[in-house]
Amino acid sequence: MIDPSFNSTYSLSRVQKESFNRDGFLLLDDILTPYQISDLQSWTAEVKGWPNRKGEHMPYEEIRADGSTGLCRTES
């Protein structure tokens, strides 16, 4: 699992803050290390593979703009 501690702080620029206030989200490039990205991808692949059992693991898929479906969340 990803270690949630970061070794340094990440300061947002004025432009980033304005972007967040305008759009409601912010894209941060290079915030995770390659190891953290790999770990997160492994964990999400594991969750995606959980069986759909009512009251246990319930995946919810959404239809994308191109008509395909994708897992958007899994609840337990």
**Contact between 57 and 41 (Cβ < 8 Å):** no
How far apart CA 13 and CA 17 sit, in angstroms, is 6
How far apart CA 76 and CA 55 sit, in angstroms, is 6
The model's pLDDT over 4-54, given as tens digits with 9 standing for 90+, comes to 566 667 788 999 999 999 999 998 887 888 998 999 899 888 888 887 777
Q: Provide the pLDDT for residue 23.
A: 96
DSSP-assigned letter for residue 61: E
pTM of the model: 0.53
DSSP-assigned letter for residue 28: -
